[in-house]
Amino acid sequence: MRELIGALPKIASMSDLRPICALCVVEDIGKCPTGFIPIRYTADSNGDADLWRENSFFSRRKTRYLCFFRVPAETEPSYIVESITVIQEGGKPPCGYTALLNTKDTAQRALKRKQICYKLVKYSEAVQAVFDVALMSANKCLDGFSLAGEIDGIFVFYKMGCARLSPGAKLPYNLSTSKLNVYPCLPGQLEAVTPTRKAPAVPPRPTQEERYENLRSNSIAVANESSHQGLEGVEFELNRRLNFLNGSRSTYLPEISLFTEATWMKDEFRYDFRTEKDVNSAGFYTIRR
């Protein structure tokens, strides 16, 4: 009984936790990697936290358990977990996230229909980090926890905190705004410094007429700038081959005489039918009846 009670999940206070820097899924909870903490029971009902719910009567039952690795005390990690989310199987993880695809101990498929994704960031650049992970059999939000998603009836929650300062620890200085000593941890005291010269006079506000004139001049300038074309300022010059058109007549061009349409028709298509008239008068053609 004592061993069972010791195995039940406990939600530790933030002052007792260190940031989580790795996650994994194992098939056999007894083969959890060294340093990793397996989540064997749900936090609300103390039920089995198996993420692979499967009823199998004729084959070996499959199990999947989520494990996390917390930064050891007095150790500064290179990377820490900033966020956790759950996506559909086969989906694309969000930008910067890594999906848990296989089990750590047997290299089998980690989960069915869902995938756990987590985001790693450099500890030196991190602002917030994940400090605890809890599994629930019902969607009941724990105090200070955020929901990552649901996996086969198990709800995954995680707790955030300040990454650079251990949660629950006291600040090394007083945040009271009534004192000028903002950084008491620094040597010496900060004193108020007064300016050595008077502030310059505020320039007078322009009148309505001046504002209108400035707006009008700016509008004209913008309009002129927008009306410029690509050939603006390029001097126009006629091609040298066309210089003969400049007041001189080229000898290569034929001279066109002026005439009227009636004169041209008369001279071009003039026909007096003289031959037909001579043949007709000589009687060469006889009409047969």
- Tens-level pLDDT at each residue, the chain (289 residues): 333 334 444 455 455 578 999 999 999 999 999 999 999 999 988 899 999 987 666 667 889 999 999 988 878 889 999 999 999 988 899 999 999 999 999 999 999 889 999 999 999 899 999 999 999 998 887 888 999 999 988 999 999 998 875 444 444 444 444 444 444 444 544 455 567 777 888 888 878 777 777 777 766 555 555 455 556 667 777 777 776 666 555 555 666 666 566 666 667 777 777 888 888 887 655 555 4
Query: Quick check: is 126 in a domain?
Result: yes
Tokens encoding 211: 């504002």
Domain range spanning residue 38? 2-162
What local confidence, expressed as pLDDT, does residue 132 receive? Answer: 94
What local confidence, expressed as pLDDT, does residue 6 receive? Answer: 41
* Sheet strand arrangement including 114-122: 79-88, 114-122, 97-99
What local confidence, expressed as pLDDT, does residue 252 receive? Answer: 58
What local confidence, expressed as pLDDT, does residue 27 receive? Answer: 94
Query: Quick check: is 236 in a domain?
Result: no
What local confidence, expressed as pLDDT, does residue 236 receive? Answer: 74
What local confidence, expressed as pLDDT, does residue 4 receive? Answer: 37
Using DSSP, state whether 45 is helix, strand or coil. Answer: coil
What local confidence, expressed as pLDDT, does residue 280 receive? Answer: 81
Query: Quick check: is 194 in a domain?
Result: no
How many structural domains is the chain composed of?
Answer: 1
Eight-state DSSP code of residue 126: -
Query: Quick check: is 80 in a domain?
Result: yes
CATH code at 39? Answer: 2.100.10.50
Using DSSP, state whether 77 is helix, strand or coil. Answer: coil
Burial (0-12, 13-18, 19+ Cβ within 10 Å), 154: buried
What local confidence, expressed as pLDDT, does residue 117 receive? Answer: 96
Query: Quick check: is 239 in a domain?
Result: no
Using DSSP, state whether 170 is helix, strand or coil. Answer: coil
Q: How far apart are CA 157 and CA 255, in angstroms?
A: 100
Query: Quick check: is 205 in a domain?
Result: no
H/E run at residue 264: helix 261-268
Using DSSP, state whether 48 is helix, strand or coil. Answer: strand
Query: Quick check: is 284 in a domain?
Result: no
Is the pTM here over 0.85, yes or no? Answer: no
Q: Using an 8 Å Cβ cutoff, are 93 and 100 in contact?
A: no
Query: Quick check: is 177 in a domain?
Result: no
β-strands 79-88, 145-151: how paired? Answer: unpaired
Using DSSP, state whether 74 is helix, strand or coil. Answer: coil
